Amino acid sequence: MCGIVGIAGTRDVAPVILEALKRLEYRGYDSAGIATLDHGAIDRRRAPGKLNMLGAMLHDRPLHGHTGIGHTRWATHGAPTEANAHPHATAQVAIVHNGIIENFRELNAELTAKGHKFESETDSETAAHLVTQLMSEGLAPDAAAKKAVARLTGAYSIAMIFKDHDGLLVGARRGAPLAVGYADTEAYIGSDAFALAPFTKKVSYLEEGDVVVIRGAQVTIFDGEGRPANREIKITSASAALVDKAGHSHFMVKEIHEQPEVVGHTLAHYLDPAGPDVRRQGKGLRDALVKASRLTISGCGTAYYAGLVGKYWFEKLARMSVETDVASELRYRDPVYPENGVALFVSQSGETADTLAALRDSKAKGQTTIAVVNVAESSIAREADIVLPTYAGPEIGVASTKAFTCQLAALACFAIAAAEARRTISKGEEKVLCASLLEAPRHIAEFLKQEPAIKILGEEIAKVRDVLYMGRGASYPLALEGALKLKEISYIHAEGYAAGEMKHGPIALIDEAVPIIVIAPHDAHFEKTISNMQEVMARGGKVLLISDKAGIAKAGKVWASIEVPTTNSFITPLINAIPVQLLAYYAAIAKGTDVDQPRNLAKSVTVE
Ligand code: M6R
């Protein structure tokens, strides 16, 4: 999604903004730009493509000035061209915007009638003209900015600078996050604390409807009613160190390799190895779990699939009634929420617009809300009643890998905690489950040694046009996740199916050209899944089986197999995630795609 950086500074800010924008690259973008005030006049550079294009432009034609804004744009309205790139500007004001201004057509018609001329196809340019119009009617820049944002509908965050007002920076938040950074002689605005980390650790977060007015280092925040508001200044944990690939060729593969460590960190938060047992939950959470009449689990993409795995665990262990849906549906479905219901939302970024909206809706409808979230300072973390953190660290690759396994780790612990609170498992069962979870990091590390063999299989997969994945039970969401991973980074068409569904339609797709990746741990569902696999093979299907030693021995001859460590079946989703990630990664490498920033995708989806 779009990234915003603004600086009211004491030095030439364009190079510094460019560096800060690099820290937002992970969000996904397709053009970028910077505007500064040079002797009071607005000057800007914008370029389609990656930041190196903007960097080259700035090298040839540097921007000067101590006050500036920068932006990485993920196109929504209009193609990623220079004209559509931010900042959008008039002679009076330059703005950068993340989100969607839903009423831009009406506003454009009104402003066109007053003589404004639009140069782009974007909704964002509207804000620049609206502020300009209000200033031409006599309002001071900050007053015009406040009045303008009050007229915008939709979800957005925005930052602006104004002609002849060196040191003045105005920001606003409605629906998309915006952080404010504090230093002795400068102040900053950024889409997240990570972008601001090289400048300052002191950060506050705007709340819905807030407008921030920065004059030099002086920061004043106003709430949605225009009253001065105090927003707590926190010391952010975001690291100033530029995240690097630590010798890996891509962030994605680095993050795949980090999994033993980060899954271990996440488990350490929830499990006491001395028991082993789950660390007892606070009374609020425990009561909610005991009373829960139903658990609703939601999220988007990979986070949703983690939640789907959770459903199997909560039903089996805690005997809870569980409903699952993607957040973009849940929020609009007008679901019937029960009394004493608990709604659990899973998100890496904690900023996904649909997930946040679904959380708010369920909270408004009386559910106790719980967030499994990786970014502790995110909107979802701040708005949920109870936060279950994951400790994946910053995930930069657009394709989620380590965040997924950490979500699984947290959900597995939470399912055991729910079962313990509801007395649906014995102390002995709790110990066995916890002990098996604590072994997961070691098994993942052991499996990663097979990377060279998986690379070869990934290269085979890269040659085909379509791939099917299938699994049963908790391996079904893994099939969905495997297919998502492959399609998003290699652009190979892939679908995941519940193994039992194959013969209800998808089996018609089977021929020698379509590999089927079968995820079949040697568990209670094994025989059934293998029967489905045989049905596929009988029709010429080329099977790649992911199973453990016993499973592979029993399954008989297949095109290829990947042997995962033998573990308690409870933790197999955590282990089987690794081969599907590596297969996708090496298929993408063989195809030469942009693995970390695949086309059309954004890391943090802050528009619905
Ligand atoms: O930040 P979130 O976990 O809320 O993001 C949800 C999805 O956008 C995300 O998982 C997406 O599906 C990934 N690109 C998958 O790799």
CB 407 within 8 A of CB 370: no
399 lines ligand 1 (CB under 6 A): yes
> How far apart are alpha carbons 189 and 168 in whole angstroms?
12
CB 69 within 8 A of CB 6: yes
108 lines ligand 1 (CB under 6 A): no
Tokens of 295: 């658990």
The CA 359 to ligand 1 mean position distance, Å, reads 16
Minimal CA–CA distance to 440: which of 411, 418, 469? 411
The CA 308 to ligand 1 mean position distance, Å, reads 14
> How far apart are alpha carbons 49 and 217 in whole angstroms?
33
358 lines ligand 1 (CB under 6 A): no
CB 231 within 8 A of CB 575: no
Q: Which residues of the chain have pLDDT under 70?
A: 238-244, 246
The CA 351 to ligand 1 mean position distance, Å, reads 10
For ligand 1, mutation pick of 74, 252, 331, 352 (most atoms within 8 Å of CB): 352
72 lines ligand 1 (CB under 6 A): no
606 lines ligand 1 (CB under 6 A): no
pLDDT value, residue 243: 64
- Rounded to 5 degrees, φ, ψ at 364 are -60, -25
398 lines ligand 1 (CB under 6 A): yes
Q: How far is CA 285 from the centre of its chain?
A: 25
Minimal CA–CA distance to 340: which of 291, 296, 304, 380? 291
- Whether cis (ω within 30° of 0) applies to the bond prior to 276 is yes
**Closest ligand 1 atom, residue 398 Cα:** 14
In the chain, CATH 3.60.20.10 covers 3-235
pLDDT value, residue 281: 74
pLDDT value, residue 241: 58
CB 51 within 8 A of CB 32: yes
Full DSSP string of 412-433:
HHHHHHHHHHTT-S-HHHHHHH
Taking the whole predicted model, whether its pTM rises above 0.95 is answered as no
pLDDT value, residue 242: 55
Q: By alpha-carbon position, which residue is closest to atom 12 of ligand 1?
A: 301
561 lines ligand 1 (CB under 6 A): no
CB 148 within 8 A of CB 131: yes
**Closest ligand 1 atom, residue 301 Cα:** 12
Tokens of 361: 């809706």
Q: What single DSSP character describes residue 190?
A: E
3-state secondary structure 325-363: EEHHHHCCCCCCCCCCCEEEEEECCCCCHHHHHHHHHHH
521 lines ligand 1 (CB under 6 A): no
pLDDT value, residue 234: 87
The CA 397 to ligand 1 mean position distance, Å, reads 11
CATH fold of the domain at 251-591: Rossmann fold (3.40.50)
Report the alpha-carbon angle 74-259-379, nearest 5: 45
Domain 3-235: assigned CATH number: 3.60.20.10
The CA 254 to ligand 1 mean position distance, Å, reads 18
**Closest ligand 1 atom, residue 355 Cα:** 4
In the chain, CATH 3.40.50.10490 covers 251-591
Distances (CA, A) of 313 to 23, 95, 418, 498: 36, 47, 10, 17
- Rounded to 5 degrees, φ, ψ at 157 are -130, 155
Q: What single DSSP character describes residue 538?
A: T
What mean pLDDT is reported for the chain? 93
The CA 603 to ligand 1 mean position distance, Å, reads 7
